[in-house]
Structure 1
Amino acid sequence: MRAGLVQLNSGDDPAANLPEILGYISAAAAGGATFIATPEVSNIVSSSRSHQRALLKTEAQDETLAALCAQTAALGIWLLVGSLALLSDTPGEARFANRSLLINPEGRVVARYDKIHMFDVDLDGGETYRESAGFAPGRRAVLAKTEIGQIGMTVCYDMRFASLYRALAKAGAEIITAPAAFTVPTGRAHWHVLLRARAIETGAFIIAPAQCGQHVGRKTYGHSLVVNPWGEVIAEAGETPGVTFADIDLNQVKAARARIPSLAHDRAFELPG
């Protein structure tokens, strides 16, 4: 299977972002990709909650998702929409959803995952993020069992929580997706090592399409990655928008897990008192 990772520099207008997303997906399909993945918040990058409130829609009403479903069906590919910022469809929830969606070649959403771990941090240089103020955290891990493999779904900050990845791998995940909008300081320090560690620990392919460049109010790191089950980077983008390809052989999952069968070696232990 050939994977195509779409790297974006999304702005704060979903309608303006959509043509670029569609163009890169078409380019990825033209390059032979049958599984294509876009970054976190593909439809809008904005730190203004009021601006998002004015533009965002529920999943059922979202024009970006409708267009992506139609394009996926037309191209006959699998599409992982890294995530969309959406109005919540939970009654009484005022915060948004940061939702990753898997679309099959018929153009139907077959799996959806709401990001569990929220990025609430104070970085050097005065950068502050309070994702939980605007987005409601998800509660459920998701494994999509498909004809192209078993796909565990995560989003960005989730990659710092190894227990989620281990749980997905033990449930059968062969591929774990990690779409992101990583900050530049944390990206330089941790992006590669975290993704390689998650691949090594799980014996799975990690597919991590990323946002890149300057957005309104923030800058993202780029460097979309594919890491194989032995922890080797087999594809990496740079710091500008575009498409990066990687060939995925799921036989490598079984081989890596046979060499280091740590998923079967869990033992109960007592916590320090």
Structure 2
Amino acid sequence: MELVAIQITAGPDWPENRARLETWLRQLPSTRPLLVQLPENAVVFGSKEAALQLAEPLGEGPIQAQLSRWARELGIWLVVGSMPTRIEHSERLHATSLVYNEQGERVGHYHKLHLFDVDVADGHGRYRESATYAPGDELCVIDSPFGRLGLSICYDLRFPELYRALRERGAEILMVPAAFTRVTGLAHWLPLLQARAIENQCYVLAAGLYGEQGDRQTWGHSVILDPWGEIQACLPKGEGLVVAPLDSERLSRIRRQMPVAQHARLSAVWRNKHEY
């Protein structure tokens, strides 16, 4: 079994992004089963107007049909980092990660919980994701041939309680598609990913956008980490594939030798302190 992160440069035009994705999907390893992750915003990036125009109801529309078709034709598990999906009776959208199995069936989805409303010292400066998107309100862990997949998106990475909750629900591979800015990526991307891998003893699969998108600069550095926090493969710049084998026995051995999940006491201590 192998894990793959696809790194591309995306923009507001879906046909151009589709062509870029197709180029790399056609160069995937022949190994099956294969778990492939696309970056956050790989479908559309950089324009509120384009996101609103291309957004589809969950489970409907030509973009989701194409994603399903890729998974089926290539015989892969495909995790779409995010695409805009419509919310009934709302002017805002969800940033939604979609998971398709090798038959092209959508087996799960996740709406991004934490929205990137921050100021960053780059050319764009002010980010207000909540102007376009509404936050989700549910966690998602999915059974797969590779183990249990815990879904997240980009800014979620800064909230360790989310990943602890995913681990408590059985997650073995943490999915972290992203479009980290160059400024925040240089400072925090790898340390945060390694922390999530180490503290939860999970593989981390993190596909990132890369390059210049108008006044926005994305960090790339797509990476696959093992449950010890060690880098298995990384692509700092450009477009391409990041590929690494999945060693389920290594994951089991790390968890057996250092059973941190069984040793965790904070929840019990907190509960006891506040019982009346």
| TM-score bracket for this pair, using the shorter chain length | over 0.9
Helix, strand or coil: the match of 1:117?
Answer: coil
Report the CA distance between 1:32 and its aligned residue. 6.5
| CA distance in 2: counterparts of 1:244 and 1:33, whole angstroms | 16
Report the CA distance between 1:74 and its aligned residue. 1.2
Equivalent position amino acid for 2:41 in 1: V
Change (3 A) 1:244 1:108: same
Unaligned runs of 5+ in 1: none
Percent identity (aligned): 34
Helix, strand or coil: the match of 2:59?
Answer: helix
Correspondence for 1:173 = 171
Task: Spell out the pairing of 1:1-273 with structure 2 (5 A cutoff).
Answer: 1-30=1-30, 34-46=34-46, 48-86=47-85, 88=86, 90-125=87-122, 127-267=125-265, 268-269=269-270
| CA distance in 2: counterparts of 1:21 and 1:200, whole angstroms | 31
- For residues 68-93 of structure 1, give each alpha carbon's deviation from its aligned partner in whole angstroms, at most 9, with x where no partner exists: 2112111111111111123x2x3222
| CA distance in 2: counterparts of 1:176 and 1:58, whole angstroms | 26
Aligned residues of 2:8 and 2:240 also touching (Cα < 8 A): yes
Report the CA distance between 1:33 and its aligned residue. 7.0
| CA distance in 2: counterparts of 1:231 and 1:245, whole angstroms | 16
Aligned residues of 2:54 and 2:84 also touching (Cα < 8 A): no
Equivalent position amino acid for 2:223 in 1: L
Per the normalisation by structure 1, the TM-score is 0.93
**Corresponding pairs, count:** 268
Per the normalisation by structure 2, the TM-score is 0.92
Unaligned runs of 5+ in 2: none
Report the CA distance between 1:20 and its aligned residue. 1.3
Aligned residues of 2:13 and 2:50 also touching (Cα < 8 A): no
Change (3 A) 1:94 1:121: same
Aligned residues of 1:29 and 1:75 also touching (Cα < 8 A): no
Report the CA distance between 1:31 and its aligned residue. 6.9
| CA distance in 2: counterparts of 1:113 and 1:54, whole angstroms | 21
Give me the CA root mean square deviation.
Answer: 1.7
